[in-house]
Structure 1
Amino acid sequence: MAALDASLRSDQIGRAIVLTIITIGVFGIQDAVSKMLVQDYSPFLITMMRYWGFALFALIMVSRQAPLRRALTSRAPGWQVLRGVLLIADIWFFALALQSVPLGELQAIVIVYPLLVTLFAIPFLGEKVGIFRFAAVGAGFVGALVIMRPGGIPLEWGVVHALASATLYALYIVITRKVSGVDSAATSLTYVALVGLVLSSCVGVFFWQPMAWSDFALVCVIMATTCGGHGLMVYALTMAPASVLQPFNYFSLPWAIILSIVVFGHWIDPISLVGAGIIVAAGLVVMWRERKRGPVPEAIIGRE
């Protein structure tokens, strides 16, 4: 019987890993479509319409578990509102970066966020970080510098936006860890949905412009991939712990490189690829150390 249970658990984890990889593929398609649209439309407009889809999905999910009024009851409302602000700001900066930074290089930059989480956990969560993890973080930043070296990605506003996106998402994860001990996942999801919906709409409405039907169809693709990706992510997390699935997030890098080549005809240069490899290796080392310390919050799975 024990062997049968172990086999079933193994099958569940295998399915969860496949779902995680599919989720990454879905989010990659979302990024590619977003990059097409932000060349002609404001990133704030596209973010607003994307968030309409995500908020609807999130609120439907929460309402199936408990009344929304109960989900809005938080023991840390200030931190929850801050989470919502950080996430929508992260998406804004990512969309701005999409305007000028190729997908492969952009993904190579933003995957430094697990390393930033390690640093931000020190002041916000009071965690102690040993020399081993500090060395891994340092190596990751060396990888980022390799990508942004002279002759690599031009140091312009797109790169600044990409770094801001990674920083804001790392802060979002740390604050999520902070509130996870006092609030339910439903409460956290509700605040992220409502705060992001209000902020994205309040800003995006000022950038409204007429949209061709073909472009509106692409916006619908973004909404569908947002809802579908998050749905797959949540389902995967019911079958395997976040600490098991988290390393597979790094498949987003080769997928972004493939999409960049196929859709936009842009190849990442070999030296930048080496820098990205350094970041990935450093991130996996940090994740390994984090896994030994305890459970990983679900927010780390599926960046977008």
Structure 2
Amino acid sequence: MLEHGGNLRAASAQFDRPLSNWLDLSTGLNPHGYPAPDAGASAWHRLPEKCPLLVQAASRYYGAPHMLAVAGSQAAIQALPRLRPPSRVVVAAPSYAEHAHHWQQHGHSTREVPHALLDAAVSDCDVLVVCNPNNPTGHTVPRERLLSWRETLAQRGGWLVVDEAFADVAPANSIADMAALPGMVVLCSVGKFFGLAGLRVGFAGAEPALLDRLESLLGPWTVSGPAQHVARAALCDRAWQARTRERLAADHARLSAILRDSDLDASGTALFQWWPMEEPEPLWRHLAQRGIWTRLFLHGARGIRVGMPPDEPGWQRLITALNEWKNQS
């Protein structure tokens, strides 16, 4: 199993620090998640039928004409490679490691290609996978380029898979509204922006025939009743969404300034920042020894990713640790 952020139990064991004494910045999740409403007794008691109201709410929110609710976008990431014969797959690099891993696991010829070389790679693959914005760097591909790639791939029965797990903070660049075009697959998640990773709810947007195949492969009852109830409420709450985008934008500006003051050349989104380092482990360890858990990248793009602190004590804890690092460097 690949390594991911949020593994606080491993951090606690490695650094001999109680779980309650960590500032977890390792996941890029909104630290002020949507306040989950009470799902009611029936949501817990009944088998979770597919809820058309949830799908309608998702279609309105993402702008996609056809969507399928899945148990987090991770479920679709794992299933999509099983819906194609052996194919030539290109995954934009660096990227969320689960994409390349699962295409490789299911017999596809898979290679990772830097973003700067993707234009050329499109002519020599059947499937192109792009995180947009990218995890961990925050790099964003313009809509026009994505649409051009999709057209090229679709002409030979190929797919463009766009993972928009972090796109909610800047929806203007989302391509979910084009998800019904031939060869287009868009993956969305309520885990990041809504801070509801524990729900395990995501959505796939694509042509209806492809969504039917994906649904058949995943089987019944993929999303629990309580999760459907909470996700629908979050997707419909436009006032909360607007307030949250404003707050995250302010936090983004603050974190960017803090990292610049620490001489760290960071990029990212309004949910996380990432910076490259030839030797990132000493800084990662310095932060961990002070109870600040960040995401360490040692393979491919080497660097560190941090999310937004949840409160003022968290901000001050991060600032103090970075100042200590800068002063001793």
- Structure with more of its chain in helix, by fraction: 1
Greater RCO, 1 or 2 (C-alpha within 8 Å, sep 6+): 1
TM-score scaled by length of structure 1? 0.29
Larger radius of gyration: 2
- Structure with more of its chain in strand, by fraction: 2
